[in-house]
Structure 1
């Protein structure tokens, strides 16, 4: 492809994703009005496709605010943050940050955290496959707890929220609303991963999110537990470790077994 053709394609792509841009000069002819109409239709179709992709990735978020509000918010996002890659699986990674700074969404303060949870679900679904450590291998770790660091599943992520984000997400998917009168006041932290075919989301106990984050930084069990105990004196290492084992969150160790 010639340099001119590449430049024309780049100009066309920029114009499609810039709502304030006019029709590229290369498309204009004797009937400018017709070119404007055709380009507007094409641009709207591109926007609609991106908005549909976001709606598919954030179904609970969309239910919490309603389809009309969600699509209007998503269009604002598309205009301000068009795709930077042809790999659309990556598109929407910062949509939750956009929501957190989007004034019309402020009356739903937990909306951005629900979106973060949904993005974690999306990335876990498309993450690399890995076999969790077997129960026998996990049992062998107990005797070596002082000198090993755990390697966690590549699909794993932690979402921390001052709101009951897992409960809101579950209710939104089930009923299409958050039913605020039934919600507890405490925040919830979520562990999201796909140890097998299905993505799982589970609530972490007190100190659980901080513990997982310490492990993700490569710290061994005693160091990670000590760091959490400084801020959470009631942290239960045995219970949290057992929960990670049952969830299939442990893939191996940093040190060879």
Structure 2
């Protein structure tokens, strides 16, 4: 190990754990007390920056937990998962794992899925721009041309299946929802949901999908051909309206390309 690498590792250890500070401080020239104060300031700034990044990515989780509890969670997460990227927009992807591993959140079993949803929204905001494909392009294809056709979706699209109503839970914490409804709904009144995360222009959005729409999007995102995927959904969901669902998928700008197959 080079001297520089050893110094960097001692510095990182001293930032994460105060007990490791003496090893690093012993390497430094100058007044020991002053160096210790400067290290404490650096540690405080690192924790503060990580906390700010997590607050930006997980605003609803912070609201649910409360400011103080979320700050403690952020410090714990930083201690176990120090930032490894210069861009703090990329920090916090595994917070849901930290939440799921803690017994003190056992009374909030839906919280890891809510965190997963918020991170998907955060990533959607940073996803590459895309050009939506209009529905008329699909509607203009003949049945022969549709054979083997697959759909390509926008980079921001993410599907999150949960045993809890996470899309509705997220919605109730938005100012627009509260302006209309005024009070929080009860979780026990709702069932499992598949949340669709996508980007409408530059704005990330969340939508609770009906079961048939969720099954179709899961199949199409996995690369299945359009016609077999539609047939499978129609067989599984007797009330499935393929034209309506497809029109909605295109209307929301989810599709970026129609990939043609070979005619039989």
Q: TM-score surpassing 0.5?
A: yes
1:111 is displaced (CA, Å) by 1.3
CA distance in 1: counterparts of 2:138 and 2:26, whole angstroms: 63
Does the 8 Å contact 2:165/2:187 carry over to 1?
Answer: no
2:209 corresponds to which residue? Answer: 204
1:62 corresponds to which residue? Answer: 62
Does the 8 Å contact 1:156/1:192 carry over to 2?
Answer: yes
CA distance in 1: counterparts of 2:167 and 2:142, whole angstroms: 31
Q: 1:62 to 1:207 in 2, by over 3 A?
A: same
Structure 1 segment 187-198 matched on structure 2, within 5 A: 187-198=192-203
Does the 8 Å contact 1:130/1:195 carry over to 2?
Answer: no
1:249 is displaced (CA, Å) by 0.5
For each residue in 1:111-155, what CA deviation from the matched residue of structure 2 results, as whole angstroms up to 9, or x when unmatched?
A: 111111111111111101110102331322464333201111111
Q: TM-score, normalization: structure 2?
A: 0.84
Query: Is residue 172 from structure 1 mapped to residue 177 from structure 2 by the alignment?
Result: no
2:15 corresponds to which residue? Answer: 16
CA distance in 1: counterparts of 2:163 and 2:236, whole angstroms: 16
1:29 is displaced (CA, Å) by 4.5
CA distance in 1: counterparts of 2:109 and 2:236, whole angstroms: 26
Partner secondary structure for residue 257 of structure 2? strand
CA distance in 2: counterparts of 1:236 and 1:15, whole angstroms: 60
CA distance in 2: counterparts of 1:96 and 1:88, whole angstroms: 17
Instruction: Tell me the number of residue pairs that the alignment of Structure 1 and Structure 2 aligns.
Output: 254
Does the 8 Å contact 2:127/2:156 carry over to 1?
Answer: yes
CA distance in 2: counterparts of 1:243 and 1:142, whole angstroms: 20
CA distance in 2: counterparts of 1:46 and 1:121, whole angstroms: 24
Stretches of 4+ aligned residues off by more than 6 angstroms:
none
Does the 8 Å contact 1:132/1:195 carry over to 2?
Answer: no
1:26 is displaced (CA, Å) by 5.6
1:227 is displaced (CA, Å) by 4.8
Partner secondary structure for residue 159 of structure 2? strand
1:73 corresponds to which residue? Answer: 73
Partner secondary structure for residue 147 of structure 2? helix
CA distance in 2: counterparts of 1:231 and 1:40, whole angstroms: 60
Does the 8 Å contact 1:27/1:35 carry over to 2?
Answer: no
The runs of 5 or more residues in structure 1 that have no matched partner are none
Correspondence for 1:219 among 224, 228, 241? 224
Does the 8 Å contact 1:133/1:250 carry over to 2?
Answer: yes
